[in-house]
Amino acid sequence: METKTILLLSLTLLSHVSFSTSFTPTDNYLVNCGSNAATSFTPTDTRIFGAESTSQGLIFLSKGQSISLKNQNPSPDSPTLYNTARVFTTISSYKFSIKRNGTHLVRLHFSPFKAQGFDLSTAKFSVLVNGNLLLSDFSTKVVVLKEYVIRVDDSALEILFRPVGESSFGYVNAIEVFSAPEDFILDEGAKLVGANGIEVFKNLSSHVFETIHRINVGGAKLVPFNDTMWRTWIPDEDFLVFKSAAKRAFTTRVPNYQSGGASREIAPENVYMTAQQLNKDINPIQSRFNITWNFPVGSGGVRHLVRLHFCDIVSPSLNMLYFNVYLNEYSADSDFDLSSLTFHVLSSPMYVDYIVDSNDLGAVRVSVGPSAIGGPLKVNAILNGVEIMKMINPPGSQSGSKNRTVWIVVGSSIGGFAVLCLIIFVAALSCKCKKKKLKPRRVENEAWTPLRVNGGSAHSRMSELTLNEYRSLKIPFADIQMATNNFDNSLKIGSGGFGAVFKGVLRDNTKVAVKRGLPGSRQGLPEFQTEIKILSKIRHRHLVSLIGYCEEQSEMILVYEYMEKGPLKKHLEPGEDSNANAPELPAHAIAPQDLSANTETETDGGDGSSSSEIRNSQVFSQLMNNDGR
């Protein structure tokens, strides 16, 4: 029965397969190394790899000694692309001109064979791309395709092959270099998941990644013919820890790609048309268990980018699917609500980027399980696709020749004394200036991640606040840190359900009350946006005015004018410490019942939700307090 289901699923999806040429890379180099003829890769990848010996191809080889090699006895099953190779006997390189800076994909094809006295399976070499060490002491006896994602900020991309040892050599059968879409790797929005909880991970595109796994969860193998980025996706069955916990789901409807969500270049349609969901047939009454996949990645303690793909193809209506996501048994997302993350459209593809270290067994474990939200009808969890890429740290992986290393050591030794003197001088100067000027430190929240302007992760829907009429109200986070002495507790004047309130002084000497939200606040993003929209339009002499806001570094901060005489509540509701000398109630203060006649109330902040309302009681709360809600 299972075999028939898989066959039916494959035939169904096959009817939707079509080769797409909608994505055309600005930079697109396909090289048939060591060959004087152009050829395609496979019947499922009909792109043409150009001959290396053409006048255009020769400019790729920039330096070094190398020879072309041809396999005289190729296997009938071997692609023509793998029947030739370029062999490097000294440090050699290819150089490609880059027309558009940004993220690029680099694929290196290795298929060993014997010819002309060379046994490619005995080759041992390292590979560097623009100085980043990608392969060290590499050798293989089987066919290997290595894929890397790297940001290029120069006018050229250089792939350098360096033989290891005097009698060794390097080789390559084919090379692909092409530019990726601009939103393929975004700097903002990734989450670092580990023992310390969830943290924001920034500057993602500055790292180099090696693709380890690309999985079509719940579906069949997808070949380059099915993918606009010419990728191969394999089934997930071999990685399931308990196969009985999962049940395949699939649809024949094309996904509803939305602007700001995942695109076809992020993952093809077929990935989002299949999934694994909870197998409720095991225990229909108590389906409280997780689906877990175990992906071997090599060594333990190595940082990886884990990209999870989601598309709700199992719910009959919106807001029916809530679930939790775990990485290596650590919570990555709780009460995951695809309806709110996909613009309230069913079957809308999206993805989330996580950063996680491989466990002690050299694996990355991914789990999804039901949330506590909702009743029995909402008990489910889903996953459509997984991509795992090993992160390579550019500063630590750059490597040059031995001579360069020697000169670095010599230069460091000669300049050591001078550098030491400079450090002492700077340290002394810093001590003198430390009390004069505050140096803002970086503050990150564990529970929030920055809001993206573009892209397709869970945090890709940037508020329209910062894009139009409210831009003038934005206050840099560094200015707020300076104003509050880095949120010094001695300046704390109150707290509430939203967070703490600090007294501060801006650069123009304006005294302010800074309300800083805390993780887990009962006032979420919609209320934060609503308060900016409403209070920025209200100007009343009896109401505390909103001066500005800040949402940098995943913060939610509101800045109000500071009330010198304290909150009005102190005068209207005196406590036990009040006395006859308490300040008189200001003559211009008004009673709560009078607010409705003097203050405009707006509804519908654009999303149609009830959270967009600001009632008289809320306005009166602002009038009564300078210390949060």
pLDDT tens-place string over residues 8-34: 344 344 434 444 446 899 999 999 999
Specify the pLDDT at position 591: 34
Specify the pLDDT at position 46: 81
Instruction: State CA 3 to chain mean position distance.
Output: 36
**Average pLDDT of every residue of the chain:** 78
Res 61 pLDDT > 50: yes
- Amino acid present at 540: H
Of 465, 443, 584, 599, which Cα lies nearest the Cα of 518? 443
At residue 154, the 3 state secondary structure works out as: coil
Q: Cite the DSSP H helix spans in 365-524.
A: 394-397, 402-433, 477-483
Specify the pLDDT at position 611: 38
Q: What's the half-sphere exposure (Cβ side, CA atoms, 13 Å) at 138?
A: 24
Res 270 pLDDT > 90: yes
Stronger pLDDT, 81 or 450, i.e. the higher one: 81
Max mean pLDDT among 92-101, 486-495, 532-541 falls in 92-101
pTM comes to 0.63
For the ranges 61-65, 85-89, 328-332, 565-569, the lowest mean pLDDT is seen at: 565-569
For the ranges 142-156, 202-216, 320-334, 523-537, the lowest mean pLDDT is seen at: 523-537
Per cent of the chain over pLDDT 90 is 50
Stronger pLDDT, 503 or 284, i.e. the higher one: 503
Res 388 pLDDT > 80: yes
Provide the pLDDT confidence category of residue 62 given band limits of 50, 70 and 90: confident
Q: What does the pLDDT look like over 139-197, one tens digit per residue?
A: 999 999 999 999 999 999 999 999 998 889 999 999 999 999 999 999 989 999 999 99
Which residue is it, tokens 């396909």? 30
Which phi and psi angles does 121 have, rounded to 5°? -70, -15
At residue 98, the 3 state secondary structure works out as: coil
Specify the pLDDT at position 66: 92
Alpha-carbon distance of 451 to 162, in angstroms, equals 43
Stronger pLDDT, 437 or 505, i.e. the higher one: 505
CATH of domain 28-179: 2.60.120
Stronger pLDDT, 349 or 463, i.e. the higher one: 349
Specify the pLDDT at position 570: 62
Res 603 pLDDT > 50: no
- Amino acid present at 472: S
* 273 burial type by CB count under 10 A (0-12 exposed, 13-18 middle, 19+ buried): buried
Q: CATH number of the domain at 464-576+584-624, out of 3.20.20.370, 1.20.120.530, 3.30.428.10, 3.30.200.20? A: 3.30.200.20
Please answer whether residues 125 and 161 qualify as being in contact, where contact means their C-beta atoms are separated by less than 8 angstroms.
yes
CATH of domain 2-17+184-394: 2.60.120.430
> What DSSP character marks residue 477?
H
Per cent of the chain over pLDDT 70 is 70
Specify the pLDDT at position 60: 77
463: tokens are 């508020």
Please answer whether residues 101 and 153 qualify as being in contact, where contact means their C-beta atoms are separated by less than 8 angstroms.
yes
Specify the pLDDT at position 516: 87
The ranges of the chain annotated as CATH 2.60.120.430 are: 2-17+184-394
Specify the pLDDT at position 291: 96
The reply to whether 515 sits in an annotated binding site is: yes
Q: Rounded mean pLDDT of 240-245? A: 94
